[in-house]
Structure 1
Amino acid sequence: MIAMQYSFTLPVDYDMEIIDRRIRDKGPMFDGFPRLRFKAYLSARKQNDSFASAENLYAPFYLWENPKGLSDFLASPGFAALTRDYGWPTVRTWMVWHAELGSDFCKARFASREITPIAPYSDLASRRNEAVAFAEAAVRGGALAAVAAFDPTGWTMVRFRLWETPPTTERDTVQTYTVGHISLPKMPS
């Protein structure tokens, strides 16, 4: 599996209802996209009473079965329309160490993402074992889903979680989002 996220930073006075409407209108169109485990349509608001973000963001997070799904999406008319509307984003990708998806993760209304550096010469087998334990513990602790993955190009690790209620976090390295829609693969009939 491979995780992917791009993010658009929007002006402080941007009408975030435009993003909410885009998610409502376009979200269901992505349901059943080939090789997709899930796509979480995420946004964050600078002016938010519950959990303020440093910036207004539109930042979908994807979990793909394999790189072909990711490649097919980036070459699709949908991605071309997105870049026409919002610009050419940096697309971050991570190789998945572990994904723990609860049976009702599509009920998520919030998400949290933490990206941390991996120190040079780290014991990657130990880091992977820690990542698996983290994902399993996150779901046992109330997360509806948890993804732990790493990028060997930039040597970073991502911890992504989906929640039904707003998560509590004390670390400023954690970005919290609102989930507007979750797209899932088509279920066999």
Structure 2
Amino acid sequence: MIAMQYSFTLPADYDMSIIDRRIRDKGPLLDNFPNLRLKAYLTARTGDEETASRENLYAPFYVWDQEEGLNDFVCGPGFAAVSASFGRPQVKTWIVWQAAISPDVRAARFATREITDIGRHEPLADIRTHESEAVARDIDTDGALASVAAFEPTSWTYVRFKLRKTLPETGLGGRVEAYRVGHLSLPGGP
């Protein structure tokens, strides 16, 4: 599996209802897309107290079962259209260690993403084990509706992505970005 995210930073005075409308109209087009396990259409807005974003963002997050799905999407008309509208983004990708999706995932209204540097001498196998076990705990006890742990060996970082019904009350911390979920594309349709 491969996780992928790109992000568009939009001006502070940008009318985010344009993005909301785009998600509403275009989001269902990726329902049942081949090799797509999950696409979360994510936004963040300046002034949103819950997500505490300093920027207006459109930042979809994907989990692909096979690289063919990623290739078909990035080389296809949907990605060409978003690139034509906002410019071709830098696409971050991670190799998935573990992903879990609850049957209740459609209730997700928020997402969090945390990217952590992997220390030069940290045993990668230990991080993989810890993060893979954390994914199950996220679903079982942390209230996550989906959880993904993955790593990127060029920059030596790992990511933890969660879909949630509500954001944690204890605060998000400095490395955690929070988003609102506008739509989820999953196998099996809406």
Query: Which residue of structure 2 lines up, in the alignment, with residue 153 of structure 1?
Result: 154
Query: Which residue of structure 1 lines up, in the alignment, with residue 116 of structure 2?
Result: 116
Cα distance in 1, alignment partners of residues 99 and 172 from structure 2:
24
1:129-148 superposed Cα distances (whole Å, 9 cap, x missing partner): 01112111111210001000
Which one is further off, 155-164 or 131-140?
131-140
1:152-173 superposed Cα distances (whole Å, 9 cap, x missing partner): 0110100000001123434111
Cα distance in 2, alignment partners of residues 48 and 138 from structure 1:
25
Q: Shift in Å at residue 66 of structure 1?
A: 1.2
Cα distance in 2, alignment partners of residues 39 and 110 from structure 1:
13
| Moved segments of 4+, more than 3 Å | none
Q: How many residues align?
A: 187
Of 173, 178, 181 in structure 2, the residue corresponding to residue 179 of structure 1 is 181
Query: Which residue of structure 1 lines up, in the alignment, with residue 33 of structure 2?
Result: 33
Letter in 2 for 1:156: T
SS at match of 1:144: strand
Query: Which residue of structure 2 lines up, in the alignment, with residue 96 of structure 1?
Result: 96
CA contact (8 A) 2:51 2:180 kept: no
Map 1:124-143 onto structure 2 (within 5 A). Answer: 124-140=124-140, 141-143=142-144
SS at match of 1:28: helix
Cα distance in 2, alignment partners of residues 99 and 51 from structure 1:
23
Q: Shift in Å at residue 150 of structure 1?
A: 0.2
TM-score, length-scaled by structure 2: 0.95
SS at match of 2:32: coil
Is there any run of 5+ residues in structure 1 with no aligned partner, and where?
A: none
Q: Shift in Å at residue 94 of structure 1?
A: 0.2
CA contact (8 A) 2:5 2:62 kept: yes
TM-score, length-scaled by structure 1: 0.96
Q: Shift in Å at residue 175 of structure 1?
A: 0.3
2:57 equivalent to 1:54: no
Cα distance in 1, alignment partners of residues 56 and 82 from structure 2:
17
CA contact (8 A) 1:33 1:186 kept: no
Letter in 2 for 1:134: A
Q: Shift in Å at residue 99 of structure 1?
A: 0.4
CA contact (8 A) 1:100 1:135 kept: yes
CA contact (8 A) 2:9 2:56 kept: yes
Query: Which residue of structure 1 lines up, in the alignment, with residue 80 of structure 2?
Result: 80
Is there any run of 5+ residues in structure 2 with no aligned partner, and where?
A: none
Cα distance in 1, alignment partners of residues 87 and 35 from structure 2:
25
